[in-house]
Chain A
Amino acid sequence: MADEHDRQGDDLPELGRALRRLYQPSADVPADTDAAIRAALRLGFAESRRKRLVFARRLAPFAAVAAAAAVVLLAIWLATLGPPSAPPQPAVARTDPADLDQNGTVDILDAFHLARHLEAGEAIDAALDLNRDGAIDSLDVDRIALRAVSLTPGAG
């Protein structure tokens, strides 16, 4: 059964050809619509590039300060820790709630997923109230987006 489950249907060329015919792209985009979309995309592409570069430039000094502050805070916290009173517990893998697609990275796609869930009015894990203001809303989406473009991993 395991072997059968692992087969990907490569041995069914006739079925593949028929399904490709059945679902092959046929939706022509009208030329004027296509031209309008291309123009919008060029603007969107240029605007995204401009915003990201400006954002990264503005964020860079803060990221360095935040990293330094994090190191100082970590050092203070470690200094205040007493000797362990109990044997250390085995580490438990914990998923970052912001990593919605669970691909191991918090990226802009996670912000997109949360935005879509919000837009659809679907039930959302309370752990996604990332700014802890009692509501899961666009501010939490922004927070994930900020993390995605942050120069400091885990920032935001």
Chain B
Amino acid sequence: MSRRETEDPRSDQQLIAAANAGDEDAFEALYERYRDWVINLALRFTDDRHLALDVMQDVFMYLAGRFPGFELTAQLKTFLYPAVRHTALALRRKHHRSSTAFSLSASVCVFASPPSEDLAPLADAMRSLPAAQREIIILRFADDLSLEEIARAVEIPLGTAKSRLHHALRALRADERLKKYFDR
């Protein structure tokens, strides 16, 4: 049960096939591969370390419940993203029920760690983006999903994903402080 030192060399598809055949180690390798991404994503939505851990466990328990018979038709991140998002927002809503209402706009702006000085302008610009556009930018650049995968993960039409990315990039490009990121 201790942490492994090396990552399993098998692809996600191979690990899923093995897990479908009953290989617990293959499932644990998937957990190891996506654990940090899932908890970081959960933190973006909850801004609460303990809640994020709860989300992470719930999401992987949900994934465990899909075996055997789980079929992956895209990146595993596109499957995990809506699960993390729904679970995190539901848990957060439950915890904030007695306080003021919150919306997605309050989420997805939490950084993994306080931004360093050189990233402060970018962090500031990201905060000022509408939440829906910010979400697409993070998925595209930080999580490295394609627009098609983003549309699937966020459960929106591809055209909407393209439009949000376009508008978000236009807003960032218009910020003089961020000129260096757009110079070629």
Contacts and interface: CB of A to CB of B under 8 A. Distances in A.
A8 B126 CA distance: 18
Contacts of B57: 37, 40-41
Contact of A27 (B24, B40, B93, B155): B40
Given A23-B40, A25-B112, A29-B53, A15 B83 contact: no
A27 B35 CA distance: 10
Main secondary structure of the interface of B (DSSP, over half): helix
Interface residues of A, number: 49
A42 B24 contact: yes
Given A15-B181, A27-B43, A22 B64 contact: no
A77 interface: no
Interface in A2-33: 4-9, 11-12, 14-16, 18-27, 29, 31, 33
Contacts of A21: 116, 119
A112 B70 CA distance: 14
A44 B112 contact: no
Chain B interface size band reads 35 or more
Contacts of B17: none
Interface of B: 1-3, 19, 22, 24, 27-28, 31, 35-37, 39-40, 43-44, 49, 52-53, 56-57, 60-62, 64-69, 79, 82-83, 86-87, 89-90, 93, 111-113, 115-116, 119, 122-123, 126, 137-138, 140-143, 146-147, 152, 155, 159, 162-163, 165-166, 169, 172, 178, 180-184
Given A19-B126, A23-B44, A31-B3, 19 more contacts: A8-B165, A9-B140, A9-B165, A14-B180, A15-B141, A19-B122, A21-B119, A22-B111, A22-B112, A23-B40, A25-B39, A27-B43, A29-B53, A33-B53, A35-B2, A41-B31, A41-B64, A45-B67, A113-B82
